[in-house]
Amino acid sequence: MSDKAKNNMIRTKRVKVQSVNRSKKKNYNLIVGGSITGVILLMILIGVFYTPYDPNAMDASAKFAGISMKHLMGCDNFGRDVFSRVLEGSRTTLIVAAGTVFIGTFFGVIIGALTGYYGGVVDEVLMRINDAIFAFPSILLALVFISIFGSGKYHVIIALGIAFIPSFARIVRSEFIKCKNMDYVKSAKLQGAGDFRIMFVHILPNTLTVLLSAIMIGFNNAVLAEAGMSFLGIGVQPPDASLGRMLSEAQSYLFRAPSYALFPGVIIILMVLGFSLLGDGLKDE
């Protein structure tokens, strides 16, 4: 064997060893994402039972108060405690995002399963409707819904939820198309399993890895969409606090009270970052 060939062999061996090491490396995405998400969830949970001040209580003497021990994140234009409002606002944002993702996932899975499994006419009809919804930007679709049915937390959830259905339906559909011709599906049929049992008991668990990362991404998009809608004034209505709503109120006082805009923004970023890292981490597991 020539020296060159030997060298090549040694090199390949080395590469192999490295790749083994890499797979044993700690899953930093999961750790960091999990910690950020955990801290935020803990904060929200504490906020349910205890906030330093009533989030809606106004105090004229504390108007635009800066960061101090009394007001950890300062005060807003009505003298309301920003920290208390951030706690309450992130809860609203979380509920809206979770509700949106729930609606999107629930109906997306049903539509995706039916279209992917049956194909044919069912597939054509449902997927064309799906495409039609998908063609509108989700914010625009939600805007139309809000302008017809009125604003408010629950309407935002429904509006965004509907807008989120198509993306989930597509992902689930492609997974079902992949799985439905596998031998285990045929063998379940032979054993006498009905269509719905095959779809939701046999095939659905096999789509969970893909579905889970889609849920994480969807959750991020929902957080941003809610913040965007509230920022535009068509989302959560005052006096309810939501992170987007607070940002929108804070923009007028950006120079007088920068902390008012800073903290809700930071929490939105952390929420999105935490969940995307968590999603990536879970995918690698």
Complex with another protein: residue 70 or 197, whichever CB lies closer: 197
Complex with another protein: residue 135 or 190, whichever CB lies closer: 190
Tell me whether residue 237 is exposed, middle or buried, using C-beta atoms within 10 angstroms of its C-beta: 0 to 12, 13 to 18, 19 or more.
middle
Complex with another protein: residue 86 or 214, whichever CB lies closer: 214
The distance of closest approach from Cβ of residue 193 to another protein in the complex, given in angstroms and rounded to an integer, is 6
Spatial contact of 166 and 108, defined as CB atoms under 8 Å apart: yes
The distance of closest approach from Cβ of residue 195 to another protein in the complex, given in angstroms and rounded to an integer, is 13
Within 8 A by CB and 6+ apart from 270, the residues are 36, 40
The distance of closest approach from Cβ of residue 173 to another protein in the complex, given in angstroms and rounded to an integer, is 18
Q: Which two tokens stand for residue 94?
A: 């979380």
Complex with another protein: residue 2 or 181, whichever CB lies closer: 181
Residues binding another protein (CB under 8 A): 182-184, 186-193, 197, 202, 205-206, 208
The distance of closest approach from Cβ of residue 105 to another protein in the complex, given in angstroms and rounded to an integer, is 17
Looking at residue 136, its amino acid is F
The distance of closest approach from Cβ of residue 207 to another protein in the complex, given in angstroms and rounded to an integer, is 9
From the list 163, 170, 174, the residue with the least C-alpha distance to 133 is: 163
**CA–CA separation, 239 and 86 (whole Å):** 13
The distance of closest approach from Cβ of residue 24 to another protein in the complex, given in angstroms and rounded to an integer, is 19
Q: Residue 177: how many CA atoms within 13 Å on its side-chain side?
A: 13
Complex with another protein: residue 117 or 145, whichever CB lies closer: 117
Q: 82-118 and 28-49 helices cross at what angle (nearest 10)? A: 120
The distance of closest approach from Cβ of residue 181 to another protein in the complex, given in angstroms and rounded to an integer, is 9
Complex with another protein: residue 164 or 176, whichever CB lies closer: 176
Cis peptide bond prior to 264, omega within 30° of 0? no
Looking at residue 212, its amino acid is L
The distance of closest approach from Cβ of residue 7 to another protein in the complex, given in angstroms and rounded to an integer, is 34
Q: Which long-range contacts (C-beta less than 8 Å, at least 24 apart) are formed by 247-255?
A: 249/76, 249/77, 250/76, 252/77, 253/64, 253/76, 253/77
Angle at the Cα of 84 from the Cα atoms of 35 and 139, rounded to 5 degrees: 75
Helix (H) or strand (E) holding 13: helix 3-24
Spatial contact of 246 and 262, defined as CB atoms under 8 Å apart: no
Complex with another protein: residue 155 or 180, whichever CB lies closer: 180
Complex with another protein: residue 32 or 177, whichever CB lies closer: 177
